[in-house]
Amino acid sequence: METGELLRRLGYKETDKLVILNCDDLGSTYSANIGVYDALRKGIATSATLMVPCPWARHAALMYRGEDIGVHLTLNSEHPGYRWGPITYGPSLIDGDGGFPRGLVDLWEHADIEEVKVELRTQIERAILWGFEVTHLDSHMGALQLKPEFFDVYLELAQEFNLPMRLSARSTQGFVGFPFRDLADEACVIAPDYLAVIMNEKGVGSRTTAIAMLEQLPVGITEIYFHPAIDTPELRGATQDWQERVDDYFLLVNEDELKVLIEKQGAHLIGYRELKMVMQEVNAG
């Protein structure tokens, strides 16, 4: 769907700037559960995504109060000392350490696509069973967005469950190497126009990226993602990037810098639930 048409369907002008502030990794740790829900309830975050296979995902479901939450489709377990694995029988999805592969290359080289489909569909169904009103899909570590055969599964699930999805900007199609945005358009699957990709060697810690993106915010819908968590011994033991996660928490909950930048841009905060409503209306005919 063209940006102007989507903005109109959402009730905005074609020249408006909309921002989704998404919290990744809900369910990964107790610390993340508190951090994400605080960001949604006390801070300025507008959506989040659940990692269904992680040990604290069921706890996240017990804390749920109807917030805008999607499924963070998970096929990797990246932390050296903290592991999780498939919730289905998927031998090709398990590395020698008994969990999901740590890295993307290992996943892409060994995963059976049929086992990928079963696992990811089950993750979505499990979230629904737990009571989540799933609003969208995205992909942990970008595993489903960077390889055509994995993207096919991602797109198929978005169609099957009639849900919008996280995608990077159309301008990145050449870099990624296949026309994923065009394929999504053909399938009538909605995605934000832009994704602020974190420029941090550890992969989390959104402060610099978020501020830079908001200072030059384009017309259309931009998603910026964060990994908020509170500082606990659990978080420090589970992750090597705990300081960046705690900083994301303070940025979303305790500071006003992002709010000020959004107001300065005349931008509007939305969640994925609004995109879901438009997509379901369009696909209902």
CA distance 243 to 233: 12
Amino acid type, 114: E
What 3-state class would DSSP assign to 213?
Answer: helix
Whether 110 is catalytic is no
Block residue for tokens 């979303």: 252
Ranges assigned E (strand) in the chain = 17-26, 47-50, 69-73, 134-139, 194-196, 220-226, 268-269
Find the Cα–Cα–Cα–Cα dihedral 32, 165, 20, 18, rounded to 10°: 180
| Start-to-end CA span in the chain (Å) | 14
Angle between helices 257-265 and 207-215 (to 10 degrees): 20
Active-site position among 72, 138, 227, 247? 227
Whether 247 is catalytic is no
DSSP 182: H
What 3-state class would DSSP assign to 47?
Answer: strand
Residue 213: closest CA among 146, 168, 276: 168
Active-site position among 16, 24, 25, 248? 24
CA distance 145 to 32: 24
CA distance 72 to 28: 11
124 in Cβ contact with 137 (< 8 Å): yes
Tokens of 82: 């903290």
| Residues belonging to the active site | 24, 227
